A and B are shown apart, each in its own frame.
Chain A
């Protein structure tokens, strides 16, 4: 149930942003979540609903986009995905993770105050 810990961080960030920008309401939140994070979108939404009840974020919708794994070899530059492990081209163990670890608030749909 680590989704509850994550939701607390999301809520903190959103409330700070809303206060700073003066939006009337955040209608929808688009998240990018790497597969390695093992986040279950349904549990995340449930946790978000529970934690935001009675706050300015009540009724805000979460949309989760899953990001697959991607690696790049630091020796030969080959990129590869899901299968993980060593470089499929040169066998090097030195790789960087390009994607699959992220927990990102990508964008928001917000309602602005009437001008």
Chain B
């Protein structure tokens, strides 16, 4: 006999168990966790290097990379604790892997734990890692049409960074389209234009983090 069973459970229920455990642990610790998502080469590691140079936050990084450990080496030069996770071709990180990586980090001494996700605008946005919020990075050479092409990432991120803003004079980046589409997808997102070479926009980025760190610590048990 066949029967119909009602399930009503997320497709990712197994992954979400790990994500929920991470979120609960970080809640007790008062540790802010931020998931950085953007295309290959959009400037994720450079932003983390600049964030380290500013010396305003104590943080560690979980580096999701397809193969090499080059990004981890770049950050280690700035005395940032880094755990490298190679996905061996996998297009995104998953919470069970992140939970293991966290064991190697001095979590109780940190303000922020960053995850630099694998360079990709689709799958990394779909897998909850237990972060407090996602940051979508779009670099200006990629074009202003990307938010509408990748709506899930841009809708589900609390912060949207338009990186490589220094290149705007050389590109035909349609800023009106970008602003309109972001307002349509995610009207309450905080959008910051960042130029990591000159440091423009970094203060605004750091101020967002510092405010969220304060909130997180205030709510810790």
A interface residues with partner B (beta carbon < 8 Å):
2, 5-6, 9-10, 12-13, 16-17, 21, 27, 31, 36-38, 84-86, 93-95, 97, 101-112
Contact = CB atoms under 8 A, between A and B. Distances in A.
B148 to A, nearest CB: 10
B91 to A, nearest CB: 7
A17 B5 CA distance: 11
Q: Lowest 9 CB-CB distances: which A-B pairs, in order? A: A93-B187, A103-B11, A2-B122, A93-B188, A85-B184, A105-B7, A2-B123, A84-B184, A5-B123
B157 interface: no
A13 B14 contact: yes
Interface class of chain A by DSSP: mixed
Contacts of B92: 5
Given A85-B183, A85-B184, A101-B152, A108 B10 contact: no
Contacts, number: 89
B6 interface: yes
B9 interface: yes
Contacts of A103: 10-12, 126
Interface residues of B, number: 30
Given A37-B126, A95-B187, A104 B8 contact: yes
Contacts of B221: none
Contact of A10 (B8, B11, B122, B183): B11
9 contacts: A6-B11, A38-B151, A38-B152, A85-B183, A93-B188, A95-B187, A104-B10, A112-B1, A112-B3
Contacts of A109: 2-5
Interface class of chain B by DSSP: mixed
Nearest to A113: B1
B45 interface: no
B185 interface: yes
Given A2-B123, A104-B9, A12 B14 contact: yes
B4, B11, B152, B187, most chain A CB atoms within 10 A: B11
Contact of B126 (A5, A31, A104, A110): A5
B86 interface: no
Interface string B186-203: 011000000000000000
A46 to B, nearest CB: 17
A30 to B, nearest CB: 9
B14 A94 contact: no
Contacts of A94: 188
B117 interface: no
Contacts of B127: 5
Contacts of B183: 85-86
Interface in B1-28: 1-15
B156 interface: yes
A102 B127 CA distance: 13
